[in-house]
Amino acid sequence: MTNENVLEALKNVTYPGFTKDIVTFGFVKNVVIEGEKVAIVIDITSSAPEVKAQLTDEATAELKKLGFATVEVHIDAPQAPQQMSNSVSGKNIAPHVKNFVMVSSGKGGVGKSTTSVNLAVAMAMQGKKVGLLDADIYGPNIPRMMGVADQKPEIQGNKVMPLKAYGVEIMSMGSLMEPGQSLIWRGSMIMKAIEQFLRDILWSELDVLVIDMPPGTGDAQLTLAQSVPVTAGITVTTPQEVSLDDSRRSLDMFQKLHIPTAGIIENMSGFICPECEAESDIFGMGTTIPVAKEYDTELIARIPIEPAIRVGGDTGKPITYFQPDSQTAKRYQEAASSLLQFIDKVQAEGGADNQAIQPTTPPGVSACSTGV
Ligand SMILES: Nc1ncnc2c1ncn2[C@@H]1O[C@H](COP(=O)(O)OP(=O)(O)O)[C@@H](O)[C@H]1O
Ligand SMILES: [Mg+2]
């Protein structure tokens, strides 16, 4: 029996809640074989006892199948963190950033990047030092949405200066690649890219780094939770039932990774008539409230379908900055305030105990001359 045989067998052990195995994730740190006995060290980020138990059981079973008489599995996991409920590995590879906010969604196209941009801009307008990291390496849209698509970041030694717009520091794979170029990412490359974004970008001392994640619940999410303590997770969804199924997966992932959930942003929720300001229901409104309850969290904002939001994204002029008096900008500002309060609460209480933020009550649909 060689170390390779052992690692091969451990590839059958997947990390709970993910499709990847612990060897591919790089969690198996040490293998020692002495005759009939094997000892391994697994270094994980979660302090959840059920994760440890499951990994121990499965790894032991796999190694017994190889014929070892004695199997010792040592799990190196952080102690239940005191400061932050998910402080994961206790590791922070970007220590000058005080808070990390993960913006996730079960699927693409629901407005994750739009939400990340407008929340980041709103917090900067409220006087916070904010960064915006585009971790969606498959579809990096942040440079365009922030109006910096034609700028190239300055390199200093082996570090990269973030770009800056509307008071927000920005970094994206899109800014490091040639326009139109695409890369085929393997899991390990994604993990490396995310780590480098945190380690090798010269972020200032930030109050908040907003991270626009790739859609879904995969390697990027786990890598992030492994590398830094994520203070708050936000799930973006649209109100249709099919989207809600996807957003459940995203909320479930926050729970598995011990990320305190700030709440759900219901995007493309209703339409506000530009003439009479009445709000009408297009895809449904408020449908996320029961899902939020299911996961013991809150609906933190409902953002209507608004042509100006899309135009703002396409032209790199976020609505929150350019039309600060619009209904939509006000909702982003309120969502940003709720998020900042949530972050303060997590920091103060070390609580996974999510804050109750009342959703805006969907106003009734009133008769409107435009007939929408
Ligand atoms: N509330 C909204 N009203 C109108 N258009 C929106 C709204 N939210 C997002 N969009 C548009 O929908 C498209 C997808 O949004 P995007 O933020 O890129 O989604 P994701 O990052 O989840 O893939 C973009 O063109 C964006 O401008
Ligand atoms: Mg996006």
Q: Report whether 133 contacts 171 (CB < 8 A).
A: yes
Distance 144 CA to ligand 2 centre (A): 11
Listed residue (322, 361, 303) closest to 113, CA to CA: 303
Answer whether 346's CB lies under 8 Å from 98's CB.
no
Cβ < 6 Å from ligand 1: which residues? Answer: 105, 108-114, 141, 267-268, 303, 305-306, 309-310, 313
Share of the chain above pLDDT 90, in %: 54
Which tokens hold the place of 188? 């390990």
Domain boundaries, the chain: 3-76, 97-349
Alpha carbon nearest to ligand 1 atom 6, residue: 310
**Above 70 in pLDDT, residue 16?**
yes
CA-closest residue to ligand 1 atom 3: 305
Per-residue pLDDT tens digits for 235-287: 999 998 878 888 999 999 998 888 999 999 999 998 888 788 788 887 777 78
How large a percentage of the chain has pLDDT more than 70?
Answer: 86
Handedness of CA 182, 148, 216, 112 (dihedral sign): negative
Mind listing the pLDDT tens digit for each residue in 183-231? 666 767 777 888 888 889 999 999 999 999 998 888 888 888 888 889 9
Residue 47 has pLDDT above 80, yes or no: no
What's the one-letter identity of residue 177?
Answer: M
3-76 belongs to which CATH class? alpha beta
pLDDT tens for each residue of 160-194? 999 999 999 999 988 887 766 666 667 677 778 88
What fold characterizes domain 97-349? Rossmann fold (3.40.50)
Are 3-76 and 97-349 the same fold in CATH?
no
